[in-house]
Structure 1
């Protein structure tokens, strides 16, 4: 097994690790040839810690690729404790201002660059045509392919103007699925023409905008292949590179996800993905050292055994090297990062029939089980309202089937939900609440696909960002913004 093969294999592996401190094994591997890492929830403990972590990693290789998922909105790595200061894609699609999207993405890139991150695994360019989609939802710019395409290109342009590389995901399109690929393999039954008319325009737009990377989806499309997209040469090489003309780096979604892990294992998926046309392998965080070592050996062994062409592994390694060379954030400082987030969040609000709130509302926050992509990120409205109205009472509702606490006879009640249409028990509890208290204000912080007929007062934020919560509180409390959005 040659040193050259092992070097190529190392370059394709994007390992993760547990905890806020870089382990010694990873520092050794970076010094020895690993070209990139991906950071996850467990690696984050505030901006100062992240800046120290990236500096430690890059001390072993100044050209290291350091990536994470900073989408804005529901999916944030930088702002787990308080929620994102930038609204997510659905809110940006609702505002439908391409310059606002571009400037929001530029603000995200500026923040990442300042913390030593040079690859953002964003934007999500999936067209969310399935209201029950458990994994995309508010992460999408919407359900209209052309609108999603336009905002995808704007996001890529704004983000990459900072020198931070973008990554359009999840190819060939995760928006019409009803299964979360973290847990099982989604199957898309549409024919090619129908699927491409909806799913492909945003990827074409992102490629035309010069997106540096594309992430694969662990989904099965029988109209194209009998294997998941991540390991499909038809989709990654013939379609993405051949038909769509993409020349950048193809990065897999996490190999830990059950959609592929349960079928091929980590090593089996890795070898198949590289053979199909992928270049970078998101390994995940579990057993990081052992998996990185195992994958290095297995990729090189696959070449030796004739299962993986040597030139394909060399090509993948070269693409990752080019991506790392391209992802060099410049000095891009702006003073409107949070202002632009608030401007976008205000534009995204949908309000109807809102009453004047008194000084002591009861805020019922219906908790849901977060998806693995979102994780335990703070969301909700209660803390923001209580910060402005000290007499407000915030009540987390963890079991919607249990009786709600007694409510005051005349005071205002806010019911805060996320994706009400996807949670039958919460929907039943909210409808019972509205029957008993028709003056309840329903605040939807997810997809606004179900507004109960009895909800006379309704507010939708189009995402669960901190910016969205602040904008909603301004509107509910009658405190309008004093400053206009800053000039471009």
Structure 2
């Protein structure tokens, strides 16, 4: 095999030996090193491309801005799409955008947070058509999870995307976790491990790289790392027993990329895992030699301490390969445009590389891994599974009913009073529409937003709904956290006023019944909302 053949050879998705993959990546890195000569003048010319090759920024708009086109032509690794890059009213827009990006850089990595369920970018306005991890874990059918992975992979591939930053491999052992929750397959390590591997296999059957996150495990935190520094107060022995196995399962399934977490594990030191060489060494010791992607550098553990630029330097020195810059429209990036978010990281890397603080070999090794992923994703699809899955039925089968009496039901075309008791949105998912109100469209829905009304106003409105001359309205109370005192207060008020109400729990399901008539949907998206209606209509 010639060096040119090695440079273009696709990496196998599954079933290849780690030794073969390591050999291929090593030789690819050697080829890249040969291209960066020892001549200082030529090295200086190559350095901007080499630095660009490890940066993955976001951008604003549904077309390629000029600064991004120039960076892509100069070797930028690729981009991450966010919902503001997607025009849901133009079906061909995303694939055209991806084509324009690859016209500037044919080897671009185009990534997106497409988990299914609560977290979607490609279907953010209307909600995901694919159940999320918690619903799949509750159903516990590995073939169905693998099919869901294929559906995500197909959605991405059709849009010209070759990296989905999924699945979540975290074990959600802390019920107060504000950012993982229903994004995880569950609380049991063995279950999460099995479903992580199934999801990876399904996604990568479409030559879309999966990305298991958030290494070494974000499931036992009580802080959202978007907004604060998150700590995991566990020993490494506990991490190894409960939180590392799903990542090992992803490695064994041939996962193409991993995402490091901005979490502090005291036994590894006080640096967040993304900036901590001990964390990346732990991952490499598990036999992984693929691309390690940082969580967004605009998140609090980096943004509010060393800053995204220095954070990028430290992340590469710690063993990461690809720097996810973040969403330039996040509230905490106010006052900075998309280009400046990118240049802050680029300039810091350039300064560190020219000073010798960031060795070229670190950049070369990282670039080689990213290049290998891009080359693999351009290979032929060999798996021809054509799934025909009724995902609403899947989500409905995953629902759990708690009912102290007869099962509540929706009947006929009556009216529904929907009390939205939710108190905010998950930063990873972003603000969403009320998919349940949409799914209930034929019922004549009255929405009571508890966040905008006083308890007395909610009570009066519910009493009126029960005293309507046309007959009492079915009352549904939508919550997403049974740990929220405010949501529980609204829930209790609703059941006191309308005892036949039904709680729709879009969050984590408790181990024991709630005491209220409840449908546990294990997430909130278009498909789960439709499933809730189907469950209530068939009760």
TM-score band w.r.t. shorter chain: over 0.9
1:122 counterpart residue number: 166
Select 1:435's aligned residue among 496, 503, 510: 496
Question: Residue 265 of structure 1: CA displacement?
Answer: 0.5
1:371 counterpart residue number: 426
Tell me if 1:352 matches 2:379.
Answer: no
Tell me if 1:327 matches 2:327.
Answer: no
Indicate if the aligned counterparts of 1:82 and 1:379 stay in contact, CA closer than 8 A.
no
Indicate if the aligned counterparts of 2:508 and 2:522 stay in contact, CA closer than 8 A.
yes
3-state SS of the aligned residue for 1:22?
Answer: coil
Question: Residue 280 of structure 1: CA displacement?
Answer: 0.3
Select 2:366's aligned residue among 306, 313, 316: 316
Question: Residue 379 of structure 1: CA displacement?
Answer: 4.0
2:522 counterpart residue number: 462
1:281 counterpart residue number: 323
- Map 1:23-422 onto structure 2 (within 5 A): 23-46=65-88, 47-236=91-280, 238-242=281-285, 244-286=286-328, 287-328=337-378, 330=380, 336=387, 339-353=389-403, 354-358=407-411, 359-387=414-442, 389=443, 391-399=444-452, 401-402=454-455, 403-404=457-458, 405=461, 406-409=464-467, 411-422=472-483
Indicate if the aligned counterparts of 1:438 and 1:454 stay in contact, CA closer than 8 A.
no
Q: Deviations over 1:328-380 (max 9, x none)?
A: 2646787646x342242122110233223332232222243112211123344
> Cα–Cα, structure 1 residues 371 and 214, in superposed 2: closer, same or farther, change >3 Å?
same
Task: State the alpha-carbon separation in 1 of the partners of residues 536 and 397 from structure 2.
Answer: 15
3-state SS of the aligned residue for 2:307?
Answer: helix
> Cα–Cα, structure 1 residues 379 and 449, in superposed 2: closer, same or farther, change >3 Å?
farther
Question: Residue 49 of structure 1: CA displacement?
Answer: 1.8
Structure number, greater radius of gyration: 2
Indicate if the aligned counterparts of 2:475 and 2:498 stay in contact, CA closer than 8 A.
no
Question: Residue 246 of structure 1: CA displacement?
Answer: 0.6
Question: Which segments of 5 or more consecutive residues in structure 2 lack a partner in the other structure?
Answer: 1-42, 329-336
Indicate if the aligned counterparts of 2:482 and 2:507 stay in contact, CA closer than 8 A.
no
Compare 297-306 and 310-319 and name the one that shifted more.
297-306
Question: Residue 435 of structure 1: CA displacement?
Answer: 1.7
Indicate if the aligned counterparts of 2:147 and 2:387 stay in contact, CA closer than 8 A.
no
Question: Residue 225 of structure 1: CA displacement?
Answer: 1.6
Indicate if the aligned counterparts of 2:79 and 2:109 stay in contact, CA closer than 8 A.
yes
Question: Residue 432 of structure 1: CA displacement?
Answer: 1.5
Task: State the alpha-carbon separation in 2 of the partners of residues 86 and 423 from structure 1.
Answer: 27
Question: Which segments of 5 or more consecutive residues in structure 1 lack a partner in the other structure?
Answer: 480-488
Give the count of matched residue pairs. Answer: 473
Compare 410-419 and 368-377 and name the one that shifted more.
410-419
Task: State the alpha-carbon separation in 2 of the partners of residues 386 and 397 from structure 1.
Answer: 20
Compare 428-437 and 135-144 and name the one that shifted more.
428-437
CA RMSD of aligned residues (A): 2.0
Task: State the alpha-carbon separation in 2 of the partners of residues 141 and 347 from structure 1.
Answer: 16
Task: State the alpha-carbon separation in 2 of the partners of residues 53 and 333 from structure 1.
Answer: 27
Indicate if the aligned counterparts of 2:416 and 2:476 stay in contact, CA closer than 8 A.
no
Question: Residue 194 of structure 1: CA displacement?
Answer: 1.1
Indicate if the aligned counterparts of 2:50 and 2:364 stay in contact, CA closer than 8 A.
yes
Question: Residue 415 of structure 1: CA displacement?
Answer: 2.7
Q: TM-score, normalised by structure 1?
A: 0.92
> Cα–Cα, structure 1 residues 100 and 453, in superposed 2: closer, same or farther, change >3 Å?
closer
Compare 400-409 and 97-106 and name the one that shifted more.
400-409
